[in-house]
A and B are shown apart, each in its own frame.
Chain A
Amino acid sequence: MIPVQFDYAAPTTLQEALGVLAEAGEDAKVIAGGQSLLPILRMRLNAPEKVVDLGRIEELRGITDEGSHLVIGAMTTYADVLASSAVRDHAALLVEAVKTVADPQIRHRGTVGGALVHADPAGDVGAPALALGAEFVITGPGGERTVPADEFFRDLFETAVGEGELLTRIRVPKHTGWGAHYEKFVRVAHQWSIVAVGATVRVDGGSIAEARVGLTNMGSTPLRATAVEQALVGRPATEEAVREACAAAAEGTDPPSDLNGSADYRRHLATVLTRRAVLAAAGA
Chain B
Amino acid sequence: MTRINVRVDGVTYTDEVEPRTLLVHYLREQLGKTGTVVGCDTSNCGACTVHLDGRSVKSCNVLALQADGHEVTTIEGLATDGRLHPMQQAFHECHALQCGYCTPGMIMQAIDVLNENPKPSEQEIREGLEGNLCRCTGYHNIVKAVQQVAGTGEGERA
A-side residues, CB < 8 A to B, are 1-8, 10, 31, 34-35, 38-39, 41-43, 51, 53, 55, 79, 102-106, 108-109, 189-190
Query: Across the two chains, which residue of chain A brings its CB closest to B20?
Result: A3
A104 and B62: CB pair below 8 A? no
Minimum distance in angstroms from B108 CB to a CB of chain A? 9
B134 within 8 A of A: no
Question: Within residues 124 to 155 of chain B, which ones have a CB less than 8 A from any CB in chain A?
Answer: 128, 130-132
Inter-chain pairs besides A38-B63, A104-B113, A105-B49, 16 sampled, C-beta below 8 Å: A3-B20, A6-B19, A8-B19, A10-B65, A34-B62, A35-B61, A53-B63, A53-B65, A79-B55, A102-B131, A103-B46, A105-B46, A105-B56, A106-B58, A109-B57, A190-B131
Question: Within residues 21 to 35 of chain B, which ones have a CB less than 8 A from any CB in chain A?
Answer: 21-22, 25
Residue of A5, A104, A106 most packed against chain B (CB within 10 A): A104
Over the window 26-58 of chain B, the binary record of Cβ atoms lying under 8 Å from chain A Cβ atoms (1 yes, 0 no) is 000000000000000111101001001001111
Query: Across the two chains, which residue of chain B brings its CB closest to A43?
Result: B41
Query: Across the two chains, which residue of chain A brings its CB closest to B54?
Result: A108
Query: Across the two chains, which residue of chain A brings its CB closest to B50?
Result: A105
* Residues of chain B within 8 A of A109, CB atoms compared: 57-58, 61-62
Per the bound structure, the CA–CA distance linking A31 and B52 in Å amounts to 17
Q: List 27 A-B contacts (CB under 8 A).
A: A2-B22, A3-B20, A8-B19, A10-B65, A31-B63, A34-B63, A38-B22, A38-B43, A38-B61, A41-B20, A42-B22, A43-B41, A55-B66, A103-B130, A103-B132, A104-B56, A104-B109, A104-B112, A105-B46, A105-B57, A105-B112, A106-B43, A106-B61, A108-B57, A109-B57, A109-B62, A190-B44
Per the bound structure, the CA–CA distance linking A55 and B62 in Å amounts to 12
A104 and B19: CB pair below 8 A? no
* Residues of chain A within 8 A of B49, CB atoms compared: 105
* Residues of chain B within 8 A of A108, CB atoms compared: 52, 55-57
* Residues of chain A within 8 A of B55, CB atoms compared: 79, 108
Per the bound structure, the CA–CA distance linking A108 and B131 in Å amounts to 12
Per the bound structure, the CA–CA distance linking A145 and B88 in Å amounts to 52
Query: Across the two chains, which residue of chain A brings its CB closest to B112?
Result: A104
B61 and A34: CB pair below 8 A? yes
* Residues of chain A within 8 A of B18, CB atoms compared: 5
* Residues of chain B within 8 A of A4, CB atoms compared: 20
* Residues of chain A within 8 A of B113, CB atoms compared: 104
Interface residues on B, range: 20 to 34
- Choose one: B19, B22, B131; the contact of A106 (CB below 8 Å): B131
B-side residues, CB < 8 A to A, are 2, 18-22, 25, 41-44, 46, 49, 52, 55-58, 61-63, 65-66, 68, 109, 112-113, 116, 128, 130-132
* Residues of chain A within 8 A of B2, CB atoms compared: 8
Query: Across the two chains, which residue of chain B brings its CB closest to A41?
Result: B20
B131 and A38: CB pair below 8 A? no
- Choose one: A6, A43, A79; the contact of B20 (CB below 8 Å): A6
Per the bound structure, the CA–CA distance linking A189 and B131 in Å amounts to 9
Per the bound structure, the CA–CA distance linking A103 and B61 in Å amounts to 13
- Choose one: B19, B58, B131; the contact of A51 (CB below 8 Å): B19
Query: Across the two chains, which residue of chain B brings its CB closest to A77?
Result: B55
* Residues of chain A within 8 A of B66, CB atoms compared: 31, 34, 53, 55
Per the bound structure, the CA–CA distance linking A102 and B109 in Å amounts to 14
* Residues of chain A within 8 A of B61, CB atoms compared: 34-35, 38-39, 106, 109
- Choose one: A5, A10, A43, A104; the contact of B131 (CB below 8 Å): A104
Per the bound structure, the CA–CA distance linking A10 and B64 in Å amounts to 13
- Choose one: A2, A39, A41, A79; the contact of B42 (CB below 8 Å): A39
Per the bound structure, the CA–CA distance linking A57 and B51 in Å amounts to 22
